[in-house]
Structure 1
């Protein structure tokens, strides 16, 4: 028998354990054998299907759906963590499939792990401590990202891919399945391989997003200039690209991404034709 609260539409299965202090919005559903900790906040219409654990100082915003055996808000897998109060926040309309794990931040870093809105995390993917995930991001099955990773909006990460700690993945990038990503990936980049190399631009993703043909062509030529084997550094090419980007905000995004300070190097094309990688005809 489900324990229902008609005034708020909240339904809690009698086998679920909800600790005192947890806060629920209207319409929350907590299924069989779930465990909700005392510092958890569930927004309106959040659904925990069954056997879910939501612990720590964790907030799930409105309409988040969590499938069985996910564990959210666990302690970081980091020896530097000493039990300090840190947080996890998951944005609206995000779907978290079976066995996904997401950890709290650490006190000696950001102190929070943040997942954006309208994301999809497929089975057994993992979000480590102090990661910042943008909106409309998709992780396929078994994706693993290290601590302090930043992933911008509309990135897709293929099944079994692993991303090194402190990496920054630019918006609209596509990470191929089973890729081992050690370095930052430019916006719109397409990477694959172990260890991963930049295989070109995410042309399919750009077309699906409705990007104009002129912008796509500008990015193709910008890619060629950025990674030209011309005897100067990548940052020098990026600075020149920023100056020459004209009206293309997408090309300027890539140039500024390279010019921004980072703890990692950049994922670059393999030793083959830069024209092939950019899709230049």
Structure 2
């Protein structure tokens, strides 16, 4: 299962059925779960833990030292869940001790070609990052986030669950859950209604989210006024999640 030209450190822990392609390098303190396939010319550096059924394509660099100048060789980590697909040329960096010490990627994510995930990022489950998306350090993505190709996310930004960014977006502020954004600088362009329908959200939830979106973005209210009004009018859990994603913002929200 391991090609004879691959270099696998003796301390790496690979499940018995892991496949490793030609000329790949797997260093010490690397754990790879069952059913995983590591393609040719992949470099994986530890401490890194990859879950089951991970698929990594050629020329990816996984678990490398971060590009933060404060990093001084501390033993930080990269941890990934199950069923992730990492396409060609992707770069995933470990964390820093100035933050959590860990870059965390959930399960069932698709990272397309040449995506970069910087140090201390947190990516939820079921996210899609299209070609050449760049996440600076300390970025957080909620579950089912979708970011279009050639987009960039500024450090410390939060990108909410079920939100979607169009291609080429430059995102320097926090993106609330459930909305669509695009542009440079990114601006809000409505609720991600089609995505929510595809994922089985009820008509009532989508209706209330759409009306809540209008309170924040169309009525000329302050954020505090909009949040107060939506909580008075609506009771669905989805509206509360939308409101909470705005309240937790530390950089201000995309408007």
TM-score range, shorter chain: over 0.9
| Structure 1 spans left out of the alignment, 5+ residues | 1-10, 269-281
Distance in 2 between residues matched to 1:234 and 1:158, nearest whole Å: 27
- Does the CA contact (< 8 Å) of 1:120 and 1:137 recur in 2? yes
- The structure with the largest alpha-carbon Rg is 1
| Structure 2 spans left out of the alignment, 5+ residues | none
1:70-96 alpha-carbon deviations (Å, 9 max, x no partner): 000011110111110100011100000
Which residue is 1:167 aligned to? 157
- Does the CA contact (< 8 Å) of 2:216 and 2:222 recur in 1? no
Which residue is 2:226 aligned to? 237
1:89 is aligned, of 79, 82, 101, to 79
Which residue is 1:56 aligned to? 46
- Does the CA contact (< 8 Å) of 2:136 and 2:153 recur in 1? yes
Q: Equivalent residues in 2 for 1:13-28 (5 A)?
A: 13-28=3-18
- Does the CA contact (< 8 Å) of 1:105 and 1:130 recur in 2? yes
Q: Is it true that 1:255 corresponds to 2:240 in the alignment?
A: no
TM-score (norm 1): 0.88
1:232-281 alpha-carbon deviations (Å, 9 max, x no partner): 521332133223322x1111111121122x3311001xxxxxxxxxxxxx
SS in 1 for 2:63: strand
Distance in 2 between residues matched to 1:217 and 1:109, nearest whole Å: 38
2:136 is aligned, of 123, 133, 146, to 146
- Does the CA contact (< 8 Å) of 2:163 and 2:175 recur in 1? yes
Which residue is 1:273 aligned to? none
Comparing 17-26 with 191-200, greater Cα deviation is found at 17-26
- Does the CA contact (< 8 Å) of 1:13 and 1:30 recur in 2? yes
Indicate the RMSD between aligned Cα atoms, in angstroms.
1.1
Q: Is it true that 1:42 corresponds to 2:29 in the alignment?
A: no
1:217 is aligned, of 189, 194, 207, to 207
